[in-house]
Amino acid sequence: MTEDEPTSDLLAAFGLAVRRARTELGMSQERLAAIAGLDRTYVSGLERGKRNPTLTTQKRLAAALGVSIADLVIRAEETP
């Protein structure tokens, strides 16, 4: 990712990073949402790049996935 890429590309990459981390754990969206204290429809929208999560939400997702926020961001940046 570069600085001048549209925000939607960044959101899509972050959502994909969350989805990949979740599926690596064999976790459903419902389970991730429950653990993170979020609505399943929010998790779905986030994974589709339709939501722009706050830093607090990123922290909750990362904790629920057993990774750091930095790991999710690195995964997003590595998305082609």
Mean pLDDT by 10 residues, the chain (80 residues): 65 96 98 98 97 97 98 91
Other beta carbons within 10 Å of 46: 24
> Which pLDDT score, from 0 to 100, does residue 80 have?
74
Q: What domains appear along the chain, each with residue ranges and CATH number? A: 7-77 (1.10.260.40)
> Which pLDDT score, from 0 to 100, does residue 1 have?
44
